[in-house]
Amino acid sequence: MLQRAETYASLISGFRWQIPERFNIGVATTDAWAARDPERTAILNRLATGEVEQVTYGQLAGQSSRLASELAASGISAGDRIAILLPQCPQTPIAHAAVYKLGAIAVPLALLFGPDALGYRLENSGAKCVITCAQGLERLQEIESLPSRLELIVSIDGASGRAVAFDDLVAKGSEDFTPADTGPDDPALMIYTSGTTGPAKGALHGHRVLLGHIPGVQMPHEFLPQEGDILWTPADWAWAGGLLNILLPGLLLGVPIVAARWEKFDPEAAFALMEQMRIRNAFIPPTALKMMRAVENPSSRYRLDLRTVGSGGESLGRETYDWARAELGLTINEFYGQTECNLVLSSCADIGISRAGAIGKAVPGHEVAIIDGAGNVLPAGQTGQIAVRRPDPVMFLEYWDNPDATQAKFIGDWMLTGDQGMTDDDGYVFFVGRDDDVITSSGYRIGPGEVEDCLLTHPAVALAAAVGKPDPVRTEIVKAFIVLKAGHEPSDKLAGEIQTWVRERLAAHEYPREIAFRKTLPLTTTGKVIRRLLREEA
């Protein structure tokens, strides 16, 4: 836990990890609070009707123990993988807690996955059970051949085909279930990498991963929990950002979490939800924030009660940073991490750790540096790879069934993020781009984030992505893929105006020599632009 401090120096000096010898995520996020205050609100579930269902810690604790006991009776045991294919709903934390209490391994999966992506993850993980919903059952039916190891399918929407009803298992189960006596390094959770490049890999985490996340959640949310705090994110709870930045830390800290189902992100609906639920603390990915910028006069149209907004997953950019200050009256606290080692860099405007265009500084308890290919720490101003030193409680244990990839992730004790960055003289870290996203043109190394941020300042541009296109003279040229705002139509004239806009604001070598207008951009389930697909198209 972070203790409130006035400066970054005192925040760092006053922090020490205290990882217990025995720790279970399921017990810590449900039973611990239920023993003290069973009626304490854990989840505020906003239904499609607009009504709000309050779910208490007592309910989470009891139902997760009941589910765990019935899963055990069905042959699920410690170490087995259980896929959780659910939206934001109360059954999701219940399922997670049950898996952890069993000593099994949760494998969160997104409902947006197509049959190939879903089938791959089920097969690769060796999942023995899937807990899902009616929509998830439809997804499973689209898979040509379900893995033979998949023995049990549970649906929160009732029995259907070979799927048994979630409610029936909970009703039959026993609240006297004895949770597994797990240690911090015992496997608990496996999240697949978002797959912006190459096949997705299962990042296996121990129970300590939740404790490791707490400082990284408290820093961007400015010493969460405070009186009246309420957490929300539009990010899927199957993603590390939704699960480990909001859901599980919120439950551990006793902060109510808003659950709301989204078929597709709608910026107007997001503002309306924040107003209705009086959300105080939001994690909103950069792509969603950039979409919210298109909403006119949000501060005058919606009565917002925001205290903090954190953002991460890709570069936020100066334009969105400045918009939030002007329109929302607060500073977005950008943070950084990845599936394998999340929330290791952060901003915290409350103590003056905030700089437009920068991610922030190292979260207490983590050692982060910019290194070269030999593992040497680089001085300020030089571009290299962002790396995190082990041991670190938030760091993954290994890639599932992939020792070669695990070994390749490290140089000595430095875990390689695959992201290029640099520091300034004050210790702020700046994100340049993924190793394979950085554009090399006429000898210059160009980070796509800076180009995209400049493109977004143009009044016609809603979304933008920049990639390198092979060029026989310059090695690569910058090509931009652009989604226009309503009221603007693609044309050669507009493309020329946008090119001039960037050239005049950045540099001649950074402007996009080619522009392609698109109705949409390819995104991962976490809202990141899949530049690999755009490079293939370029």
Q: Could you give the 3-state DSSP secondary structure of residue 331? A: coil
Checking if the pLDDT of 525 tops 70, the result is no
Distance between CA 404 and CA 450 in Å, rounded?
34
Chain CA centroid to CA 422, Å: 22
Q: What is the chain's length? A: 538
User: Mean of the pLDDT values across residues 299-304?
Assistant: 95
77-89 pLDDT tens trace: 999 999 999 999 9
pLDDT at residue 196, rounded to an integer:
46
Q: Could you give the 3-state DSSP secondary structure of residue 10? A: helix
3-state DSSP percent of the chain in helix, strand and coil, to 5: 30, 25, 45
pLDDT at residue 294, rounded to an integer:
87
Burial per residue of 149-186, b for 16 or more beta-carbon CB atoms within 10 angstroms, e otherwise: ebebbbbbbeeeeebbebbebbeebeeebebbebebeb
DSSP 511: S
pLDDT at residue 262, rounded to an integer:
82
| Tokens linked to 297 | 């006069």
Report percent pLDDT > 70 for the chain.
96
Domains, the chain, in order of start with CATH, read 24-40+53-206 (3.40.50.12780), 436-537 (3.30.300.30)
User: Mean of the pLDDT values across residues 313-328?
Assistant: 88
Report percent pLDDT > 90 for the chain.
79
120-137 pLDDT tens trace: 899 999 999 999 999 999
Question: In the sheet where 231-232 sits, what is the strand order?
Answer: 52-56, 41-46, 257-260, 231-232, 281-283, 308-311, 333-338, 341-346, 361-362
Q: How confident is the model at residue 199 (pLDDT cuts 50, 70, 90)?
A: low
Compute how many other C-beta atoms are within 10 angstroms of the C-beta atom of residue 146: 17
User: Mean of the pLDDT values across residues 436-445?
Assistant: 69
The average confidence (pLDDT) of the chain is 93
Checking if the pLDDT of 314 tops 90, the result is no
483-512 pLDDT tens trace: 999 999 999 999 999 999 988 887 677 899
User: Mean of the pLDDT values across residues 418-427?
Assistant: 93
Q: How confident is the model at residue 363 (pLDDT cuts 50, 70, 90)?
A: very high
pLDDT at residue 73, rounded to an integer:
97
User: Mean of the pLDDT values across residues 151-170?
Assistant: 97
User: Which carries the bigger pLDDT value, residue 213 or residue 113?
Assistant: 213
Q: Could you give the 3-state DSSP secondary structure of residue 283? A: strand
pLDDT at residue 504, rounded to an integer:
84
User: Mean of the pLDDT values across residues 61-84?
Assistant: 98
Tell me the helices (H) and strands (E) count for the chain, helix number first: 19, 27
User: Mean of the pLDDT values across residues 449-459?
Assistant: 87
Distance between CA 433 and CA 421 in Å, rounded?
7
pLDDT at residue 444, rounded to an integer:
62
Checking if the pLDDT of 290 tops 90, the result is no
